[in-house]
Amino acid sequence: MPPEADPNTHRSDADRALLERARGLAGERAARSLRLSGAAALWLRAGDDPALMVLARPGDPVLDRFDGTVADGGDGLRLLVGGTTPGNAAALRAELPNLRPVPLGLATSAGFGDRLGLATPGHALALERTGAAGMVAPVFAQQSIREMTRTRRAPQEVVDDATWGAFAAGWRLPVGADADHQKTADDVRACLAAGFTLFTVDPGEHVDDAAERADAAELRARLERLPWRELEDDWEGLKRRLLGAPLDLGDRELAISEEELTRAAVKYGAAIAHTLSLYRVLAASGAPFELELSVDETAYPTTLPEHAYVAAELRRLGVAVVSLAPRFVGRFEKGVDFRPDATGDLATLAATLEGHTAIARSMGPYKLSLHSGSDKFSVYPLIAAATGGLVHLKTAGTSYLEALRVAAVHAPDLFRQVLAIGHERFEVDRKSYLIGARLEAVPRPGDLRDADLPGLLDDDGARQVLHVTFGSALDAVGAELKRLLRERDAAHEEGLARHFARHLEPFVPYAAQPPRPG
Ligand SMILES: [Zn+2]
């Protein structure tokens, strides 16, 4: 990892002695988390009983900033042992400001959704090994409201778990935090209070998919029902702005027909109004934030005229977006690679990615955001090249599957329980996810020898069944799974690092440098 200044340089003899003492106390595995703040050393005691450790001279005010018990630390020093509590997480972010999430701007970035709150060290390791650290800006804290509900995690826990994970990994660069798939003003307020800085607004419930097929009379009726007052607009004004001349997209022009504009406005008009209302909640908060607009979970691919309409409207209304997630052509199912369908194959995708990029560059600029981005290995080279690095990659469930891989190898009985729950719950839990798996093709726990269990994590059908039933599995055996991952933290990190290297490598040659802390 690109280090901050070597903590050993420009230090007094007394500081060097304190660091040496801290290294000795921390031990080899925890020493990577060791950071100096003022004249104090901080690290995370790893393993199954994690704790915040602070070594300082007697009377150092840092000892008052954390909750914990203070005892003799040897060499005339004091040692504080504190819990990984919300209060200590907040104090740690104040002490080590790079751990406090910030807006990441247009830097190439990647989101690492982590349902268990234990995957950040593995994600950090993947960034370091691929040379992506310092190139691809990480969003370690990222969870949708849907997933917070299913994992019973509060927004603050999501942010705090990522704080502890980044601290454990010795992460010294900026981090973002993505409140994903925000649907209501209440979602936004709860996540603002927790310190999220990227707000992914999902106005999908306000997207009118009927626009795709409606006839002229029906379109006309729906057009009249749009919330024109909230949009501060009317149909004549919209036509004047977007139909007068082809749009100049830099490397190309885009001419929009009246019918295309009508369908675009009917499909996305109310969604724009809803996005505007959430943007106003964010802007009124005074907190630093950036906004992503996601329409990836809608019924039909986003066409170029539709994207251009959305971009133009956002700009007219003063809604600055840092990234936008269209619904791309083809199938982006959870936890498996891209699949072609009637809407397009990889070649169609590559061509439309260039068009979407031209819009994002010339009408933003903002990044294209790739949702359901886990395991889309055939798409990464295409989107990295098409966007030239003006891209955000969003992953989530694939990290949970790597956690299950640890169970499949080291705790076969636990894994069999998770698989049995997957069979029981799949048909209910799959709702609201895009999934192609057929349950009957997935082996049952009794059909498999222990040695065959890890192989299920490489089977598309089994991956999807396990992927969508996480909430039910965690309700039943979440505590056991987390205990296992703490005991086997090295195996867990190694698996994540290997898996995420494949996600990150294609982006590194195109990655734009993220802003450095001042
Ligand atoms: Zn999404």
Give pLDDT tens digits along the chain (518 positions). 444 445 555 678 888 899 999 999 999 989 999 999 999 999 999 888 899 999 999 999 999 999 999 999 999 999 999 999 999 999 999 999 999 999 999 999 999 999 999 999 999 999 999 999 999 999 999 999 988 998 899 999 999 999 999 999 999 999 999 999 999 999 999 999 999 999 999 999 999 999 999 999 999 999 999 999 999 999 999 999 999 899 999 999 999 999 999 999 999 999 999 999 999 999 999 999 999 999 988 889 999 999 999 999 999 999 999 999 999 999 999 899 999 999 999 999 999 999 999 999 999 999 999 999 999 999 999 999 999 999 999 999 999 999 999 999 999 999 999 999 999 999 999 887 878 888 999 999 999 999 999 999 999 999 999 999 999 999 999 999 999 999 999 999 999 999 999 999 999 999 976 544 43
395 CA from centroid of ligand 1 (Å)? 9
User: 185 in helix, strand or coil?
Assistant: helix
174 CA from centroid of ligand 1 (Å)? 23
For the chain, how many helices (H) and strands (E)? 18, 15
1 CA from centroid of ligand 1 (Å)? 30
**DSSP H or E run through 308:** helix 304-316
434 CA from centroid of ligand 1 (Å)? 11
Cβ contacts of residue 197 below 8 Å, gap of 6+? 101, 102, 103, 176, 177, 287, 288, 289, 290
Hey, which residues does 360 pair with through a beta bridge? none
Amino acid at site 482: K
Hey, which residues does 247 pair with through a beta bridge? 254
Vertex 400: Cα angle to 341 and 112 (nearest 5): 80
Separation between Cα atoms, residue 141 and residue 113, nearest integer Å: 6
**DSSP H or E run through 117:** none
180 CA from centroid of ligand 1 (Å)? 8
114 CA from centroid of ligand 1 (Å)? 14
Q: Which pair of tokens denotes residue 340? A: 């072609």
Cβ contacts of residue 261 below 8 Å, gap of 6+? 238, 239, 242, 243, 305, 309
Catalytic residues: 180, 292
Q: Which residues surround ligand 1, an ion (CB under 5 A)?
A: 296, 371
Cα-based distances in Å from 428 to 115, 162, 416, 439:
19, 30, 20, 12
